[in-house]
């Protein structure tokens, strides 16, 4: 018999995604088939499943932690912002259309149908479904059109655990305020509270826990605190951690890499693997002043490539990258970054932006045309016979996935095999449509050692097995939650 539990939060960035992922891991290790589910996700980080369908990356990590293949029905509604007031809407992995908020919420009936279609797959195929909410359930102005928090819980009659973030301060106000703002029926769905990101002596928190439980019980809501989870550093991909990465102090190491931070940057998870390499510093930069002393510049993917190209031009970043390329520095583009490195981007139907076209950096002899049909594939390619940077890697296999509206053509050589050209290189400028290319250990070790040789630094034999390193972090988080959550009560909450 299928059972379910939903993780909601007192706000954004309270740790819902990681708590959801950890529960998936625990249930999986306890012998159950388990799947994550988030009905509606707004994110620029996305993934392509085995059917070529697009989904948010948070549910990919949660599925991996639950020992199952990521499938688009685990995130049936994906919203990918391409401007401040417009998003591309993806239903069950397929791009539907661009909508603003008013049009989106006017389609609530359709959204609920899509949400239920997705969850029906979970119900049919797994013992346990672990649902994640979005933001806060106490957005009272949106309750009538909600499909991601209590609206979703109501649709499938799911019990809810509420996660609060003590690191932000005012944790008891978060808990009490959220619960008391809910309608009576929604309030009754909350069966437990988790206090997350705790630092210090838990004994000092105990009186507060007893008081909040008593206050709620006295008002007719006997909701227990089912865990106090201490802060712990884990290298697990999260949607909400990018802001911390972008605002962190710039660092230098044996090898320093600069990733251009653009307003609509997507799939920054392409670079998470570098955290596991010794002697490598990765910085996200958005000003020309922060460029020049790195060993490699990466232009990442984008949901509004022309808009991000204009941003780079306005800030002098485009000109600076061209200068650094002229000095022989390695410049690498992924997806939208590939398009930006070409001669021109055409968007006559305004698929991504209001701009019909724009001259690009011209570091590669390619032209990109945006189209309404989106390319979404999982792929495996072999590195071709290459000279220069990739010399010695011929035949090495790399895996990844493609997500792009544009089709590129040009005269530069490919460094990946296949009839359809998804890669280009010329001297020290390289680009590919393949997201996840740096997850391939042999390829990345080769690139880093190329950079080391250029600096006269000793090469390293280290080759990161990214899947194995991720599994270590998954187990670390699972064990941490087992220690600090009352799993016996959580199993009782499952419905």
As a whole number of angstroms, the distance between CA 275 and CA 171 comes to: 31
435 is catalytic: yes
Three-state SS for 452?
helix
Catalytic residue among 24, 404, 435, 446: 435
Closest CA to 291 of 326, 262, 256: 256
Token pair of 82, please?
């391409």
Q: Among 335, 404, 446, 484, which one carries the catalytic annotation?
A: 335
Q: How far apart are CA 441 and CA 422, in angstroms?
A: 20
Task: Say whether 160 sits in a helix, a strand or coil.
Answer: strand
Task: Show the beta-strand stretches assigned E in 64-212.
Answer: 77-83, 86-91, 94-99, 128-132, 160-165, 190-198
367 bridge partner residues: 344, 409
| Residue of 154, 162, 161 lying closest to 115 (CA atoms) | 154
Is 39 within 8 Å of 24 (Cβ atoms)? no
* Separation of CA 310 from chain center: 24
- d(C-alpha 59, C-alpha 43), whole Å: 11
Strand partners, 184: none
Query: Do β-strands 330-334 and 429-432 pair in parallel, antiparallel, or remain unpaired?
Result: parallel
DSSP character for 97?
E
- Bridge-based pairing state of the strands 296-299 and 330-334: parallel
C-alpha separations of 209 from 7, 140, 159, 203, 491 in Å: 19, 26, 21, 10, 21
Is 2 known to be catalytic?
Answer: no
DSSP classification of residue 75: S
Cα gap 368→372, rounded to integer Å: 13
Q: What is the DSSP letter of 436?
A: T
CA 378 – CA 395 distance, rounded (Å): 19
Residues classed as catalytic: 335, 435
């Amino acid at each position: 018999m299928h059972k379910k539990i939903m993780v909601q939060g007192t706000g954004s960035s309270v740790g819902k995604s990681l708590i959801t992922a950890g529960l998936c891991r625990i249930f999986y290790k306890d012998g159950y088939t388990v799947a994550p589910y988030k009905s509606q996700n707004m994110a620029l980080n996305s993934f392509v499943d085995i059917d070529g369908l697009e989904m948010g990356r948070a549910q990919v990590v949660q599925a991996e932690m639950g020992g199952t293949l990521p499938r688009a029905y685990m995130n049936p509604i994906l919203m990918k912002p391409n401007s401040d007031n417009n998003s591309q809407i993806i239903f069950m992995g397929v791009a539907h259309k661009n909508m603003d908020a008013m049009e989106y919420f006017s389609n609530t009936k359709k959204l609920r149908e899509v949400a239920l279609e997705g969850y029906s797959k979970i119900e049919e195929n797994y013992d346990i479904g672990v649902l994640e909410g979005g933001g806060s359930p106490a957005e009272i102005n949106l309750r009538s059109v909600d499909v991601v928090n209590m609206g979703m819980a109501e649709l499938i009659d799911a019990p809810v655990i509420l996660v609060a973030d003590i690191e932000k301060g005012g944790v008891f106000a978060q808990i009490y305020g959220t619960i008391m703002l809910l309608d009576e029926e929604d309030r009754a769905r909350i069966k437990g509270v988790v206090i997350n990101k705790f630092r210090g002596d838990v004994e000092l928190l105990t009186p507060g826990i007893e008081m909040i439980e008593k206050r709620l019980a006295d008002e007719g809501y006997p909701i227990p605190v089912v865990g106090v989870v201490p802060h712990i550093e884990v290298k697990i991909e999260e949607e909400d951690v990018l802001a911390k990465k972008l605002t962190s102090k710039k660092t230098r190491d044996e090898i320093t890499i600069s990733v251009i931070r653009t307003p609509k940057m997507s799939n920054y998870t392409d670079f998470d693997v570098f955290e596991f390499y010794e002697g490598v510093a990765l910085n996200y930069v958005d000003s020309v002043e922060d460029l020049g002393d790195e060993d490699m510049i990466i232009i990442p993917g984008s949901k509004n490539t022309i808009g991000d190209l204009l941003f780079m031009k306005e800030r002098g970043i485009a000109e600076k990258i061209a200068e650094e390329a002229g000095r022989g520095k390695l410049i690498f583009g992924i997806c939208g970054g590939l398009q930006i490195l070409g001669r021109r981007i055409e968007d006559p139907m305004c698929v991504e932006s209001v701009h019909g076209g724009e001259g690009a950096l011209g570091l590669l002899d390619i032209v990109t045309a945006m189209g309404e049909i989106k390319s979404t594939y999982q792929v495996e390619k072999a590195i071709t016979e290459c000279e220069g940077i990739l010399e010695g890697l011929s035949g090495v296999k790399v895996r990844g996935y493609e997500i792009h509206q544009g089709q590129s053509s040009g005269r530069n050589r490919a460094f990946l095999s296949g009839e359809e050209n998804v890669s280009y290189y010329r001297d020290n400028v390289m680009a590919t449509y393949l997201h996840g290319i740096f997850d391939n250990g042999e390829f990345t070790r080769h690139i880093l050692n190329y950079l080391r040789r250029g600096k006269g630094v000793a090469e390293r034999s280290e080759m990161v097995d990214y899947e194995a390193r991720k599994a270590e972090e998954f187990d670390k988080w699972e064990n941490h939650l087992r220690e600090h959550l009352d799993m016996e009560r959580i199993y009782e909450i499952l419905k």
